[in-house]
Amino acid sequence: MRNLIVRPLCALIVLALSVPFAMSASAQTSILGPRNTSAVGAYLAGLAALENLEARRAASFFMQAAEKEWDNPIYVGQTFLAYLLAGQINDATSIAQHVLDLNPNDELARLTLGAVALKQRRYTSAEQILSRVPEASLIGVTAGIMRAWTAVGDGRTSQANAILETLGQGGFEDFLLFHRAIMADLGGDRAAAIALSTQAREMDPFVPRIAEANIRILANAGRFEDAQAVLDSFAEEGVEHPVVDSLRADVAAGRRPGLFAENVQAGAAEMLHGLGTALAQDGSIELGVGLLRLAAYLDPDSPVIALTLGELLSTFGRYEDADKLFASVPAGSPLHVTSLIRLAENYDLEGDRNIAISRLQNLITAYPENKEAYGVLGDLLRYDQRWAEAARAYTGIIDRLDPPRPRDWRFYYVRGIAYERAKHWGAAEADFLAALDLNPEHPDVLNYLGYSWVDRGENLTEALAMIERAVELAPRNGYIIDSLGWAFYKLDRIEEAIATLERAARILPANAEINDHLGDVYWSAGREREAMFQWRIAISVDDEGDVAERARPKLVNGLDPDAPIGD
């Protein structure tokens, strides 16, 4: 089976951390104290709002509960948390000290107060606040790195390094290496900054933020050839990022591009941005958003932080909040076009695909070299089954690949899908083969081309080998296993087809295509009653109707009009 819904591929380095963050509602309720129906009702309403990241609404409910029971640590703590997640840092700060009065172990409240002191350049105060957070927890590590930044701000670079040395013993060496580099850069230790940033990039060569820092540090030191070599390595790998690419003009012209972190606040914000992003992607959504909100507070002009936070909120349906963040990215930023693309995507997510498509078409007119705009437009047109238009959009990317790199396989693959669905098989087949030339072992491409050949009755031996390899690469992918079963069926290897399709149906029991295929194979094996059962399942679970339209006549005639039909 071909899986037609192929979302854009994204790469993200995620820290493998398990963070106990919030007690369950039942555990919290058990320590609420005297039951107050109104307060409890407001509290429960706040929990429901917070579940969907409706932080402002949640804060309003929690505050209603807290005002009735000002000494209840749960109500007050949740109010603080909601204010933080809403980005209302002043409100969160105003209640944070009371949170600590009620619960001295609340690390996030203490971290917030420390961030506020750092923002205000009260470095000694920040150090005192943050030093009271135990380093054993993730928030403790975060507070420790922030303490190191306060030491840099206070001119105590050696103490900053000592703090990071202690934290590095807990398994954060790679992450801290990057921060050592930008601390050294801000502190004026050029040699250390070059050595540390180069080491960090060599460990993670295609992480844009690390590469950007290394390029800036090298170029600021006048080492333009080395900076250009880093840029070239990105290009050779086919990796593109607007911020990294924006450095090309300065490096080529021999201009110093400026510091990665212009001040201590921006450096601490970068740390919160990195950890917050990793945590959110790893499932700790509330803590991730909280750290990103603090990052935006410390560095409110950072387009990277605004874009990251906006993308995260968008995934939770907080489109209005996300749109404000996207709209805050200034026209002069390398990420401006990216923010406009995200605004267009939000229109689609909110149900207005036509406006999203129109905006992306306008973006392509204004920025004809922006490959991401072509890609997102192609995806939306493909989801809308506007196959020919989708293929033209993907062509906008492919025409700008000079030359195609291994990472570019996806563009040929999705254009191949669009061509195949538009009934242009020759063009589709050429694109699938081009995708395999770039990435010979990708299971989706092997499966799609193999399945297409099987369905067309072409190159059956080669198609079967492709699909079998795809199953080896993705042994739990029900769509690919279905393709293998269908190939066995086309080759009249019925018993193997039955076993394989039954396996696919166990993985994806509510998939219409798989159940329809299994019904066909059962019928061919003389198991008419079971075939009828599978076809009925296929009809009942088919949301789009294509499979049902194909399966309904089988309930009357089976696969052979002259064959006896089971009940």
Average pLDDT rounded to a whole number, residues 13-17? 28
Res 455: pLDDT: 87
Res 394: pLDDT: 98
**3-state DSSP call for residue 169?**
helix
CB 60 within 8 A of CB 83: no
Count CB-CB contacts under 10 A for residue 351: 8
Q: Assign 562 a pLDDT band (cuts: 50, 70, 90).
A: low
Is 221 exposed, middle or buried, given 0-12, 13-18 or 19+ CB atoms closer than 10 A?
Answer: middle
pLDDT digits (tens, 9 = 90+) for 29-43: 333 444 445 899 999
For residues 238 and 403, which has the higher predicted lDDT (pLDDT)? 403
Average pLDDT rounded to a whole number, residues 519-544? 95
Residues 100-121 as b/e (b if ≥16 CB within 10 A, e otherwise) read bebeeebbbbbbbbbbbbbbee
Assess whether pLDDT exceeds 60 at residue 20.
no
Residues 6+ apart with CB under 8 A from 295: 269, 270, 271, 272, 273, 276, 302, 305, 309
Residues 7-30 as b/e (b if ≥16 CB within 10 A, e otherwise) read eeeeeeeebeeebebbeeeeebee
For residues 524 and 169, which has the higher predicted lDDT (pLDDT)? 524
Average pLDDT rounded to a whole number, residues 462-476? 96
Assess whether pLDDT exceeds 60 at residue 555.
yes
Res 359: pLDDT: 97
Assess whether pLDDT exceeds 80 at residue 480.
yes
- The Cα 235–Cα 326 span in angstroms is 27
Average pLDDT rounded to a whole number, residues 500-528? 96
Least confident of 1-10, 383-392, 421-430: 1-10
For residues 158 and 110, which has the higher predicted lDDT (pLDDT)? 110
Res 1: pLDDT: 63
Average pLDDT rounded to a whole number, residues 100-110? 96
Amino acid type, 293: R
Assess whether pLDDT exceeds 50 at residue 565.
no
Res 105: pLDDT: 93
The mean pLDDT of the chain is 90
Residue 58's alpha-carbon distances to 55, 75, 415, 451, in angstroms, are: 5, 11, 44, 49
Res 567: pLDDT: 36
Percent of the chain with pLDDT over 70: 92
- The dihedrals phi and psi of 204, each to the nearest 5 degrees, come to -135, 80
Res 169: pLDDT: 64
Residue 159's alpha-carbon distances to 116, 147, 200, 264, in angstroms, are: 21, 9, 21, 15
Is 202 exposed, middle or buried, given 0-12, 13-18 or 19+ CB atoms closer than 10 A?
Answer: exposed
Average pLDDT rounded to a whole number, residues 311-323? 95
Average pLDDT rounded to a whole number, residues 138-161? 93
Res 238: pLDDT: 78
pLDDT digits (tens, 9 = 90+) for 155-189: 988 899 899 988 866 667 878 999 999 999 999 99
Res 239: pLDDT: 81
pLDDT digits (tens, 9 = 90+) for 441-451: 999 999 999 99
pLDDT digits (tens, 9 = 90+) for 264-275: 999 999 999 999
Question: Structure pTM?
Answer: 0.85
Nearest in space to 352 (alpha carbons), one of 306, 397, 325, 319: 319
Average pLDDT rounded to a whole number, residues 91-98? 96
- The Cα 263–Cα 267 span in angstroms is 6
Amino acid type, 452: S
Amino acid type, 384: D
- The dihedrals phi and psi of 316, each to the nearest 5 degrees, come to -100, 15
pLDDT digits (tens, 9 = 90+) for 353-387: 999 999 999 999 999 999 999 999 999 999 999 99
CB 503 within 8 A of CB 535: no
CB 287 within 8 A of CB 279: yes
